[in-house]
Amino acid sequence: MNRAIVRAVQRLTGLPGKPQGVNILEKQRLWYSTKPPTLRKRVTNGIVIGGSIIFFGGASVYMLQQQNRSIRDAGERKRLLREQQEKSDSSAATPAATPAATPAAKPAAKPVASKPKKKKSNVKSGIGGPFELISQDGATVTEKELLGKWTMVYFGFTHCPDICPEEMEKMSAAVNVISGQKDMPDIPIYFITCDPARDTPEVMKRYNEEISSRIIGLTGPEDKVLDACKQYRVYFSNGPKDRDGDYIVDHSVITYLMDPQGKCQAFYSRDSTVESVARDIRQKITSWVPQS
């Protein structure tokens, strides 16, 4: 075998001894079965040394040095163990330092009394506030009209083809259920219009009387209606007019339950049912505690 190759192998593997020449054709199947396609290059010579197969293919050298790697790993472990032993021996020979005076123990801290947790309120903050509107009977109504009793507040318009009448009928039915139960109050429903241009007091009174006598319609100048909507965080927007001048008002579909102090205790959307609303109203009334 070429002496230059022998020296190169000894340099690469770090193992002494003369390599043994082999026929590359005999090892070609093993080589191809252990390497990915990108490394399956044509090689012409190969040698075996220390149980490792080393192939030479042109300028490329491919080595399978599992045994050599194990030998190096074992040597590294021995070196680390030796260094660890030397450190332990040196630390044992070093005289122990005089221990520092132990500081006086601090007195145990007095337990701090935990503050009582405040009862979680059902109040929906920021809903409701001052307003001044006109009732369906022509009287001026402010937010003070809602104090001292449980009330429900809904925003809509009388020209609504389906949603508003459905919500008014549902809430009226729920209130009827509550009013028929023992110790439950009679709850008025305030229907505030989002369409003051068409919903005059007369129009609202005629509309509400067809649904329930519990409903009280409120309207007024556009700026006053807008102020009331802001107090209850209600959105509304007039749609485009058709040939007859008719239009739809897009608005929030929410009914609020207000307690006797004018605070919002719950709100109900279109997904609610008569039974769920009645059940929730009763629960809110029976568990309500006035705020000081």
- Residue 75 pLDDT: 62
> Within this chain, do residues 147 and 62 fall inside the same structural domain, yes or no?
no
> What residues form the annotated binding site?
160, 164, 251
Residue 253 covered by a domain: yes
Residue 96 covered by a domain: no
Which of 44, 68, 92 terminates a domain? The answer is 68
Which residues, in sequence order, are CB contacts of 64 under 8 Å at separation 6+?
Answer: 34, 52, 53, 54
Residue 76 structure tokens:
């590294």
Which of 13, 35, 68 terminates a domain? The answer is 68
Residue 258 covered by a domain: yes
Which of 68, 83, 110 terminates a domain? The answer is 68
Is the distance from CB of 201 to CB of 134 less than 8 angstroms?
Answer: yes
> Within this chain, do residues 23 and 157 fall inside the same structural domain, yes or no?
no
Cβ count near 129 (within 10 Å): 13
Residue 106 covered by a domain: no
- Residue 29 pLDDT: 45
- Residue 51 pLDDT: 43
- The DSSP secondary-structure symbol of 101 reads P
Decide: helix, strand or coil at residue 76: helix
Residue 236 covered by a domain: yes
> What residues form the annotated binding site for Cu cation?
160, 164, 251
- Placement of tokens 């070196």 in the chain: 79
- Residue 108 pLDDT: 59
- Residue 182 pLDDT: 85
Residue 82 covered by a domain: no
Number of domains making up the chain? 2
Residue 21 covered by a domain: yes
Distance of alpha carbon 20 from the chain centroid:
68
> Within this chain, do residues 23 and 152 fall inside the same structural domain, yes or no?
no
> Within this chain, do residues 15 and 147 fall inside the same structural domain, yes or no?
no
- Residue 58 pLDDT: 38
| Closest-CA residue to 220 (of 229, 232, 233) | 229
Burial class from Cβ neighbours inside 10 Å (0-12, 13-18, 19+) for residue 97 reads exposed
> Within this chain, do residues 138 and 225 fall inside the same structural domain, yes or no?
yes
> Within this chain, do residues 156 and 228 fall inside the same structural domain, yes or no?
yes
> Within this chain, do residues 64 and 163 fall inside the same structural domain, yes or no?
no
> Within this chain, do residues 56 and 192 fall inside the same structural domain, yes or no?
no
Q: Which domain holds residue 166?
A: 132-287
Q: What's the rounded Cα separation, in Å, for the pair 221 and 200? A: 10
Residue 259 covered by a domain: yes
pLDDT tens-digit profile, the chain (292 residues): 455 555 555 554 454 554 444 444 444 444 444 544 444 443 334 444 444 444 444 333 334 344 444 555 556 666 666 766 776 666 555 555 555 555 555 555 555 555 545 444 455 678 999 999 999 999 999 999 999 999 999 999 999 999 999 999 999 999 999 988 888 999 999 999 999 999 999 999 999 999 999 999 999 999 999 999 999 999 999 999 999 999 999 999 999 999 999 999 999 999 999 999 999 999 999 999 998 7
- Residue 126 pLDDT: 84
Q: What's the rounded Cα separation, in Å, for the pair 228 and 132? A: 8
How do 255-258 and 151-156 pair as beta strands? antiparallel
- Residue 247 pLDDT: 95
At 139, which CATH number? 3.40.30.10
| Closest-CA residue to 280 (of 149, 178, 146, 163) | 178
pTM above 0.75, yes or no: no
